[in-house]
Amino acid sequence: MDVSKYIGLEFEDRGRGPKYDCYGLCVRVLEDECGHKLPDFSDEYIHAHDKFNIPLLVAKERPNWKKVDTPEPGNVVVFSIGGMPLHVGVVLDNRKMLHIAKGINACIEDFTSKKWASRVEGFYAYN
């Protein structure tokens, strides 16, 4: 999966283009690269660290996702921040993800790194 065109995109809370939050970037990449049409949800949370609404949306969406043990390109990695599922990235291979966060333009990082590995809640494939 070539994600070079997404590198450097800017962050914006609830952004769905041309700036994105982490979920908005997943929505765009999974539609463009995998043909998956994910729900938008941009009007259902306040900001990217909304500790009330985002976990509710994750729970609501779980039936549409299958947890996988071995991540594959196009899967989504979910991260727990403060014990809650508050961040996502698109899996590129068995170590790398594309993601974006406040203060971090869209980039590729290693989800097995010290920074991320302890926060991985799981890997999910869209049904």
pLDDT at residue 48, as a whole number: 86
pLDDT at residue 55, as a whole number: 86
Q: Is the distance from CB of 100 to CB of 106 less than 8 angstroms?
A: yes
pTM of the model as a whole? 0.94
Write the CB contacts of 65 (distance below 8 Å, at least 6 apart in sequence). 76, 124, 125, 126, 127
pLDDT at residue 60, as a whole number: 87
User: If you write DSSP's letter for every residue of the chain in order, what string do you get?
Assistant: ---GGGTTPPB-TT-BSSSB-HHHHHHHHHHHHH-------TTS-SSTT-TTHHHHHHHHHGGGEEEESS--TT-EEEEEETTEEEEEEEE-SSSEEEEEETTEEEEEEETTSTTTGGGEEEEEEE-
Task: Give tens-digit pLDDT for 4-34.
Answer: 999 999 999 999 999 999 999 999 999 999 9
User: What is the residue type of 27?
Assistant: V
Quote the percentage of the chain above a pLDDT of 70: 100
Task: Say which residue the tokens 């299958």 belong to.
Answer: 66
Lowest pLDDT segment from 19-33, 37-51, 85-99: 37-51
Calpha distance 66→51 (Å, rounded): 23
Q: Is the dihedral of CA 15, 17, 18, 24 positive or negative?
A: positive
Residue 71 clears pLDDT 90, i.e. is over it: yes
Local confidence band at 102 (pLDDT 50, 70, 90 cut-offs): very high
Lowest pLDDT segment from 39-43, 48-52, 65-69, 112-116: 48-52
Report whether CATH 2.60.40.10 matches the domain 4-126.
no
